[in-house]
Chains A and B, each alone.
Chain A
Amino acid sequence: MDIIILNNIYHVIDAISYGLYAFLVGGLLLGFHRKIIARIQGRPGPPIIQYLIHTFKYYLKEISIPITAGNPLYIFMALMGIMVWLTALYLGVVFKTSLLILIGLYVLQKIVEHGCGLSSGSPYGKLGGVRSVFSAAAEVPLFAAVGIIYILTQSLIIKDIISYQLLNGPIIFKLPFAAFAFFILLISKAPNSPFGIVKDKSIVSGYITEHFGILESLILISDAIAWFVLLWLFIAVFIGPIVILNPLLTLIGMVILTFIISIICALTPLLTPNHSVMLQILITALVIIDLLHKSATI
């Protein structure tokens, strides 16, 4: 009995440690992302640990709730962000369960963005939230990509997809359109991305404008974990066991992917909401045609 309790305690400690690891790696990568963008733009940029410093600083700051806010939704949304990405971390990265569940959790991030914006009552938050609804077009290629992956591997369980690649090589060469759609999703999620209309500076900070103090810190923590999970997922699903089975190679892969995304973000202007959605719909059409083609040929 004591051994079972002790084992359970070890599992809890493992889970907390892995969550912390994901946050630290994600935070450092987002700091690295900011640094690369600054260097490309000819600025020295903040130190790489700036993201973590920000998170820590906001965590200790005093919190006040706007009189316009709708509670408890206003507070719950920040907690939901953490909940969503920690669940994605454990179900996806640790237990390697269904890709569909992870996509479901990813779309909940849209609810967090929309909810944060709307529940504050601020016009800037509301605009950020409405833009988040518009930019849901980025998720549609993802569903088509999931379909294409299933047609090829006959499974959506991440463990099975990795096993498939162990026998047949990386999927990225077999399904370039699906990989491209997923990569666009990574770019959409990156800060300062051309698709980052939800946090456009013309609407202050978008959906997090009215979330400050510990609530902003929680959102920053969830964003860092989200970055770690999404990069891991891209590597696991499209590059496979060559990289993902070695933690050091996985880290290097994440750094390279962040580097490429940073260059794209630094060299492209922020698209207008209409252009952003039109481009995403174009990519959707491309991936759906690929899905129909693959469905018809099998």
Chain B
Amino acid sequence: MSLNIDSIAGVFYGYIPFGDIVFYFTEFSLIGFIIALFFTLVVYLTKPEKQLEFQIGDFGDKLNYVSLEELKIRRLMAIVCGICTAFAMLTGDLFDYALFLAVIGIANMGIVSAVKKEGVLSAAFYYGIIAMISTLPLFGASALILAKTGTLSILELAKNSHDLLFQKIIYAVGMVGETGIAPFYAAKAEMFRAPGAPYILMIHLSSLLIIVRTVEIMLNVH
């Protein structure tokens, strides 16, 4: 197997040829996979916190509860997000990875969509628009890479040089919008103000793990 992956993501342990989709295991991907799954378990087990809010122009604070109906849908979305993040750590296919990213974006919106707060819903709406627009560069870059090289397999693309700098930049732009990091984080940070710590935290965890994984892919594919 290509030494390029070894020198970026640590020891290469092997791969599973799962039809067209290939999952591969390196030190980095295994750690990411385990962290994402472990965190999903913690999110499943954790009860949402009761958020204390200041009252402007009034005395006293207000306790915000997460109702059972709200909890159920948000927990489900957080678990979907966690599972997608975990398998995005392992996948060896660029299109598959883009699909995982798109599902993570949808799940992120789902996590906050049940919150009945205008500010939070507005933020989710803006993030949704950015995420939708970002699917174009994300899948477009995948298509460009496929057209140029004839493959979307990261393992194949890592073997030889294909001069993919432009395509990689577009792919990275898609990831930036989809995960809502700088300069798009403003809308996403507003989403974090919603009560329900474990679910909100899953949005953050998935974004960070995806960013690091994208860096790994960008370095592997060359």
Contacts and interface: CB of A to CB of B under 8 A. Distances in A.
Interface of A: 67-74, 76, 87, 97-98, 100-101, 103-104, 107-108, 110-111, 114-115, 118-123, 126, 129-130, 133-134, 136-137, 139-140, 143, 146-147, 150, 154-157, 160, 277, 281, 284, 295-296
A87 B32 CA distance: 13
A101 B216 CA distance: 10
The 5 closest A-B pairs by CB, nearest first: A70-B49, A118-B197, A155-B7, A121-B49, A73-B46
Interface string B20-41: 0000000110011001000100
B208 A69 contact: no
Interface residues of B, number: 48
Interface of B: 6-10, 27-28, 31-32, 35, 39, 42-43, 45-54, 61, 63, 165, 181-183, 185, 188-189, 192-193, 197-198, 200-201, 204-205, 208-209, 211-212, 215-216, 218-219
A295 B164 CA distance: 11
Contacts of A150: 8, 219
Contact of B46 (A72, A110, A111, A143): A72
A71 B212 contact: no
Given A100-B215, A100-B216, A100-B219, 10 more contacts: A97-B27, A100-B28, A104-B32, A111-B39, A119-B197, A126-B193, A133-B204, A150-B219, A281-B183, A284-B182
Please report whether the interface of chain B is mostly helix, strand, loop or mixed according to DSSP. Answer: helix
Nearest to A281: B182
A56 B51 CA distance: 31
25 contacts: A70-B46, A70-B48, A74-B49, A76-B46, A87-B31, A100-B10, A100-B28, A100-B215, A104-B212, A107-B208, A108-B35, A111-B39, A114-B204, A115-B197, A119-B201, A121-B51, A123-B51, A123-B52, A123-B54, A126-B193, A133-B185, A137-B182, A147-B215, A147-B219, A156-B219
Contact of A111 (B48, B205, B219): B205
B205 A157 contact: no
A115 to B, nearest CB: 5
B35 A110 contact: no
A108 B182 contact: no
A157 B3 CA distance: 12
Contacts of A139: 208, 211
A256 B48 CA distance: 44
A104 B192 CA distance: 21
Interface centre among B42, B61, B188, B204 (most CB of A within 10 A): B204
Interface centre among A68, A87, A139, A154 (most CB of B within 10 A): A68
B208 A136 contact: yes
B33 to A, nearest CB: 11
B21 to A, nearest CB: 23
